[in-house]
Amino acid sequence: MKTQIKVISFVSVLVTTFSVNAVQRDITVTANIDPTVDVTLADGSPLPSSIAMQYLPGKGLAAHKENIKFWSNTADRALNVSLANTPSLTDANGANPIPLSVSVNGTALSTTATSLAYATTFPSGITNGSSTMPLVISQTTPGAVSAAGTYTGIVSLVVTQATAAAGG
């Protein structure tokens, strides 16, 4: 009996020792969900939240290109793609604007929606997303920038699904 009590006491000491050394780490998980459409990089990963455009003295900003895919949950709807606003870069004082141009698959985007036909956007159906398309952000009028500084701006893509079935 004494042996059993000693064993039970020893086991409870070990359990207490191991539980005292435990650690807990909490991870907050978030997701921005639109169940109808999305746009990702071609490999399915999220679009970058920021990019750095390279400035070449005497030439201006080098165009930035990302290969993207569109995703949809409906197999017969065109996608409407537009910009939320006209993009530009400005310096830290909000001055010296540098207008930017944005295109998808060679089509210039503006604040007016451009329709991407279902048949050409999703030639293999919606299971694996659209065909890969280049998203290009560039300086509207390439050329030298006279004021030095760090320039920032936002390019906001708006993608919606057509409300009616598309033909073509």
Q: Determine the Cα–Cα distance for residues 99 and 110; give it in Å rounded to an integer.
A: 12
Region 73-100: mean pLDDT is: 94
pLDDT above 60 (res 30): yes
Q: How confident is the model at residue 168 (pLDDT cuts 50, 70, 90)?
A: very low
Residue 20 pLDDT: 66
Q: What is the CATH number of domain 37-161?
A: 2.60.40.2040
14, 19, 20, 22 alpha-carbon torsion, rounded to 10°: 130
Instruction: Give me the percent of the chain exceeding a pLDDT of 90.
Output: 69
Of 15-19, 76-80, 143-147, the poorest mean pLDDT is in 15-19
Question: Domain residue spans in the chain?
Answer: 37-161
- Interval 115-137 mean pLDDT: 95
Q: Find the mean pLDDT for residues 65-76.
A: 94
Q: What is the mean pLDDT of residues 6-12?
A: 67
Q: What is the pLDDT of residues 34-56, one digit of tens each?
A: 788 999 999 999 999 999 999 99
pTM of the model: 0.79
